[in-house]
């Protein structure tokens, strides 16, 4: 099962992605943002970091990188794409997912573990989780405040496309447990076809118990199972 | 014959979007005794020089750039002035 980790100038979570994917059974390789073609792959991973220094807006310049035309084509033909943190921001700017990111409500950069509720365990990314399972995953961002017009939020809810929500340890997805002000505590969403997922928390940083949490590992096993079929 | 037209593009968050930066700056203004300040919204501007045959042509290109890259239409509005 092959995976491609796209590297933009300023990406800094690419090594963690590479390591987590290889460790769980993928054969990962890096692809530099200037490439105009993708190798044959089962998964494209857009990692976290500060592509282009977050200049203009987070992900705003990376979405115009040459490789993104190929990523869009790959996604539009059903290829599996996962964007984490800056990767999610790039997917939003590229229009591969709806909505936009604002600066965190309290303006501070937040770097800590949070609890996420798995709202939708029917996606290829989350099949190995139980519905409503609460997991501990780290976040590290200054612009993770997800925003979309009310009609878009309504649609996401109706179509069950909100995959992860920030919550309490017991799974209460309320304002008190919303670290950054995201609409409806949204931490991760999926596209209509179910092949493109964007999330602000870092599952690749929660893939080894030794490093604090392995709650992210079920995303890799879910994906491996989906690809095998 | 092409000329260089100079524009300033202002970009700010839509009124319907929360602007904590603007709110924080307002608090700071109050702290420095400008209690009369009732509201504040923060934005940014870009000064651009565009080469085109006519001003209209330059503006059309700039509007496209403003929509496609300088602003994010989901959360931001923009306006253009000729310098």
Q: How much is the pLDDT for B1?
A: 73
| Nearest-CA distance A23 → chain B (Å) | 37
Bridge-based pairing of strands A100-102 and A145-147 is: antiparallel
What's the CA gap between A22 and A29, in Å, rounded?
9
Chain B residue with minimal CA distance to A58?
B72
Contact A173, A185 (CB under 8 A): yes
Bridge-based pairing of strands A110-118 and A43-46 is: unpaired
| pLDDT tens digits, one per residue of A76-125 | 999 999 999 999 999 999 999 999 999 999 999 999 999 999 999 999 99
Q: Do B74 and A181 touch (CB under 8 A)?
A: no
Counting as low any pLDDT under 50, the low residues of chain B are none
| pLDDT tens digits, one per residue of A38-65 | 999 999 999 999 999 999 999 999 999 9
Active site annotation includes A143: no
- Please give the ipTM for the structure prediction: 0.85
If you write DSSP's letter for every residue of A171-209 in order, what string do you get?
----GGG-SS--GGGEEEEE-TTS-EEEESS-GGGSSBG
Chain A residue with minimal CA distance to B46?
A56
For residue A149, list chain B residues with Cβ-Cβ distance below 8 A.
74
For residue A145, list chain B residues with Cβ-Cβ distance below 8 A.
18
Chain B 32-71, residues with CB within 8 Å of chain A CB atoms: 69-70
Q: Do B20 and A56 touch (CB under 8 A)?
A: no
Q: Do B72 and A103 touch (CB under 8 A)?
A: no
Active site annotation includes A154: no
Q: How much is the pLDDT for B27?
A: 92
Contact B53, B1 (CB under 8 A): yes
Bridge-based pairing of strands A110-118 and B3-13 is: unpaired
What's the CA gap between A91 and A25, in Å, rounded?
25
Torsion angle, CA of A122/A128/A130/A131, rounded to 10 degrees? -20
Q: How much is the pLDDT for A211?
A: 86
Active site annotation includes A33: no
| pLDDT tens digits, one per residue of A134-162 | 999 999 999 999 999 999 999 999 999 99
Beta carbons within 8 Å of A59's beta carbon, 6+ residues apart = A51, A86, A89, A90, A91, A92, A93, A94, A101
| pLDDT tens digits, one per residue of A182-229 | 999 999 999 999 999 999 999 999 999 998 899 999 999 999 999 876
Task: Tell me, yes or no, if B13 comes closer than 8 A to chain A by beta carbon.
Answer: yes
Residue A198 burial class via C-beta count within 10 angstroms: exposed 0-12, middle 13-18, buried 19 and up: buried
DSSP letter at A213 equals B
Strand partners, A79: none
From A17, A70, A85, A119, active-site residue: A85
Q: Which of B77, B76, B69, B61 is nearest to B7 (CA)?
A: B61
Task: Tell me, yes or no, if A143 comes closer than 8 A to chain B by beta carbon.
Answer: no
Instruction: Record the pTM.
Output: 0.94
Q: Do B18 and A100 touch (CB under 8 A)?
A: no
Q: Do B20 and A148 touch (CB under 8 A)?
A: no
């Amino acid at each position: 099962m092959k995976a491609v980790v796209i590297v933009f100038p300023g990406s800094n979570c690419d090594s963690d992605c590479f390591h987590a994917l290889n460790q769980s059974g993928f054969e990962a390789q890096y692809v530099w943002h200037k490439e105009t073609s993708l190798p044959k792959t089962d998964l494209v991973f857009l990692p976290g970091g500060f592509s282009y220094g977050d200049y203009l807006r987070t992900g705003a310049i990376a979405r115009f990188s040459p490789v993104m035309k190929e990523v869009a084509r790959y996604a539009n033909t059903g290829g599996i794409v996962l964007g984490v943190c800056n990767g999610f921001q790039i997917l939003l700017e590229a229009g591969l997912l709806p909505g936009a990111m604002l600066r965190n409500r309290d303006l501070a950069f937040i770097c800590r573990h949070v609890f996420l509720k798995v709202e939708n365990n029917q996606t290829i990314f989350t099949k190995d989780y139980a519905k409503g399972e609460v997991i501990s995953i780290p976040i590290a961002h200054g612009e993770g405040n997800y925003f979309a017009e009310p009609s878009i939020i309504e649609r996401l809810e109706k179509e069950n496309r909100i995959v992860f929500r920030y919550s309490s340890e017991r799974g209460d997805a309320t304002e008190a447990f919303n670290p950054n002000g995201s609409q409806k505590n949204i931490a991760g969403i999926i596209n209509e076809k179910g092949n493109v997922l964007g999330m602000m928390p870092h599952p690749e940083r929660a893939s080894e118990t030794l490093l604090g949490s392995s709650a992210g590992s079920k995303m890799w096993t879910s994906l491996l199972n989906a690809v095998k079929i | 014959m092409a000329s260089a037209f100079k524009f300033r593009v202002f970009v700010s968050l839509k009124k319907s979007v929360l602007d904590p930066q603007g709110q924080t700056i307002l608090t700071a203004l109050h702290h420095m005794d400008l209690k009369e300040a009732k509201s504040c919204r923060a934005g940014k501007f870009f000064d651009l020089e565009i080469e085109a045959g006519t001003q209209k042509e330059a503006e059309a290109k700039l509007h496209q750039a403003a929509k496609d890259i300088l602003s994010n239409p989901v959360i931001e509005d923009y306006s253009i002035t000729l310098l």
